[in-house]
Structure 1
């Protein structure tokens, strides 16, 4: 059976309060949304209560701008982006920069965890849809997982934009090729991960 027949993906949605001060963040207030990597101990503890929430080994912590600017950072910081608390009943819009998505994709390049590989795959699909990644070719490679099992997987070669901030109009960075394992997720799994990614980033994809 494929290593990618994984459980429900679940990461916390925006918390609405500062992780350091516990203060409620107010509408219109700037803050930093962060993703932190769970320690093995935290993952083990979380799995005892809700295994689905430990699937990706990441959790979200929000930090007020004043606390962040004072130099406070969560431990095991994986990624972050600056955003604003929406007004009540405000129409949902994109709050996360595309550079954040690209940075997350690159940071997960060396992972061999099946859940994170699936997460990375969906990130790549989103960036391809935004025309910030280009599919070039694919090959077959044998991949070894954390549990010692191996499986022949399709690996894509992708080309990113030279300047993601310029969007699709930027030139392709032909000197920076990326490799991506195709976990062969079905449409339901892709939709599931996309929804969870949208929840954690507070964005529509």
Structure 2
């Protein structure tokens, strides 16, 4: 199993070195540099898409000063959403993004068994959920930027609430 130590946002644009201010939207990308995984943050204006060979990327917004931190729903709620979406046709891209989110939140891990290739020839990720002692095969789906933003907004709406 691969485990990465991803650093927090640098609060500076990797391209321009400009400070990211409260409320600014920015992009983060993970790239492999030798044996390390490095995070780079880019202002919206400097973002030109993920670099070739990047491991992953996401869009975020710098928190406003004094804003209440959003509170994530309990892991079981996210797992129930995962189960529900897996059973719904046409939700493959949402299931894939949610599975990666669950890895990021340490609810899922990449299973130690090999990533299988389904009989249809599609690539899948094998995920392990320690809380359920269960493995899941999640088809790898290419998600374009617009759809990724839509799924992210849906996850925020479903899984986060303002802290009281």
- Name the TM-score, length of structure 1 as normaliser: 0.39
Greater helix content: 1
Q: Which has the larger radius of gyration?
A: 1
Q: Structure with the greater relative contact order (CA < 8 A, sep ≥ 6): 1 or 2?
A: 1
